Amino acid sequence: MKFETRCVHTGVDKDATYLSATTPIYTSSTFRWDDSETNRGFDYTRSGNPTRQALEENIASLEGGIDCKATATGMAAVTATMQLFKPGDHIIAGDDIYGGTYRLFHQCYSRFGIDFSFVKMSNPDSIKEAIRPETKGIWIETPSNPLMNITDLQAVSDIAKEINAITIADNTFMSPYLQRPFENGIDIVMHSTTKYLNGHSDVVGGCVVTRTDEHKERIAFHVNALGISCSPFDAWLVLRGVKTLGPRMEAHQRAATAIADFLVNHPKVEKVYYPGFADHPGHEIARRQQSGFGAMMSFDVKGTRADADKVLTGTKFFQLAESLGGVESLIAYPETMSHASISEEARREAGIKETTIRLSCGIEHPDDLITDLEAALG
């Protein structure tokens, strides 16, 4: 089956009684046993649920993994993945990862004896320099948030294999339609399904996809043990969203390409961060490991924070809000939103300015979105 067909059909068929065309929502918290030894594959919804399993089978197939566990949020997916490590371990992560992930690493897991180095992930040398004998994991977000830096997945995976470290890719920004990190040797893929996989800004969820039996068992164990699995209703919403992933991503990218071209030529725009531009430092790598440049971009407005504020509050279709990946376009301010939990010093170090604005281009008509930005830029 081709990708788009798997989006629509994989895992979906769960109703042998009435042959419903879509997956029912099994809200039941518990499932009857036939006798004291036998149940029909499900006993308690925290551990397993047919609706959630439909979603898990679907996403595992899209990413090319052997298993997927759907979690309550994207942060729950990060939490599940972190259970693969233990006190004393050292993890290398990008210095421009999602602020919530940074906060979890820096303020929570470091208290439990896991040490982190935050490096320029797009530069393999800075990864090599950070390696220690106890380095056990490398955490990658590519393209990164919000500056769209590109990490060479294969290069990092090769480095990690030499030191026997686990590589984890947060594939939220791309979705499996545009990037499948397992094809570049990555060990674990995670998502905030809140974003493109669901695609309609009406659910918060996450998932962890694995490709070895060992990782499959350990992630499944911890998602159940920690009690962080996705609710059946949320799983059903994401499954419904995933069915249109391919056409949505095409529409998102059509808007993004037009908007990037518009912004780069605008006199009030200092710089546009979009990997689709040939002069973007990660363009060639993105070309190689992605099948499109996605629909996320950032730009620096000329001037001061007041100029940025004018744009942020001046759009109509681009709603000023956190998050990304929904059909509706969003405009966001990393400084006080996604990256507020990072210190100002760390933000500047990562290249995020007080004039940096992030866009999640939706699937509205590109002409309307450009008119919207044109009016806000003034």
Binding mask 213-252 for ligand PLP (x = CB under 6 A): ----------------------------------------
Question: Does 316 qualify as catalytic in the annotation?
Answer: no
Binding mask 298-337 for ligand PLP (x = CB under 6 A): -------------------------x--------------
* 71 in contact with ligand PLP (CB under 6 A): no
Maximum separation of any 2 CA atoms in the chain, in Å: 73
**8 A C-beta contact, residue 329 and residue 318:** yes
CA nearest to 142, candidates 115, 123, 116: 123
For the chain, the straight-line distance linking the first and the last C-alpha, in angstroms and rounded, comes to 48
**8 A C-beta contact, residue 53 and residue 181:** no
Residue closer to ligand PLP by CB (options 148, 269) is 148
Residue closer to ligand PLP by CB (options 56, 307) is 56
* 148 in contact with ligand PLP (CB under 6 A): no
Burial of residue 64, with CB atoms counted within 10 A of its CB: 0-12 exposed, 13-18 middle, 19 or more buried: middle
* 146 in contact with ligand PLP (CB under 6 A): no
Residue closer to ligand PLP by CB (options 242, 376) is 242
φ/ψ of residue 167, rounded to 5:
-100, 135
Q: Which of 23, 172, 179, 253 binds ligand PLP (CB under 6 A)?
A: 172
CA nearest to 229, candidates 8, 48, 71: 71
Q: Which residue is nearest to ligand PLP (CB)?
A: 74
**Strand extents, DSSP E, the chain:** 67-71, 90-94, 115-119, 135-141, 166-170, 188-192, 206-210, 269-273, 296-301, 319-320, 330-332, 356-360
Q: Which residues contact 35 (CB under 8 A, 6 or more apart)?
A: none
* 206 in contact with ligand PLP (CB under 6 A): yes
Instruction: Scan residues 176-205 and list those touching ligand PLP (CB under 6 A).
Output: 192, 194, 204
Amino acid sitting at position 69? K
Q: Rounded to an integer, what distance in angstroms lies between the CA atom of residue 12 and that of residue 268?
A: 48
Which residue among the candidates 67, 170, 300, 307 is catalytic per the annotation? 170
Q: How many residues bind ligand PLP (CB under 6 A)?
A: 16
Which residue among the candidates 180, 195, 240, 243 is catalytic per the annotation? 195
Q: Which of 96, 141, 187, 300 binds ligand PLP (CB under 6 A)?
A: 141
**8 A C-beta contact, residue 126 and residue 120:** yes
Provide the 10 A C-beta neighbour count for residue 365: 14
Question: Does 86 qualify as catalytic in the annotation?
Answer: no
* 68 in contact with ligand PLP (CB under 6 A): no
Q: Which of 100, 185, 281, 314 binds ligand PLP (CB under 6 A)?
A: 100
Which residue among the candidates 52, 89, 98, 196 is catalytic per the annotation? 98
Residue closer to ligand PLP by CB (options 45, 198) is 198
* 257 in contact with ligand PLP (CB under 6 A): no
Question: With the C-alpha atoms ordered 211, 67, 234, 176, is the resulting torsion angle positive or negative?
Answer: positive
Q: Rounded to an integer, what distance in angstroms lies between the CA atom of residue 23 and that of residue 19?
A: 9
* 96 in contact with ligand PLP (CB under 6 A): no
Question: Does 195 qualify as catalytic in the annotation?
Answer: yes
SS3 helix, strand, coil % of the chain, rounded to 5? 40, 15, 45
Residues annotated as part of the active site: 46, 98, 170, 195
Q: Which residues bind ligand PLP (CB under 6 A)?
A: 73-75, 98, 100-101, 141, 145, 170, 172-173, 192, 194, 204, 206, 323
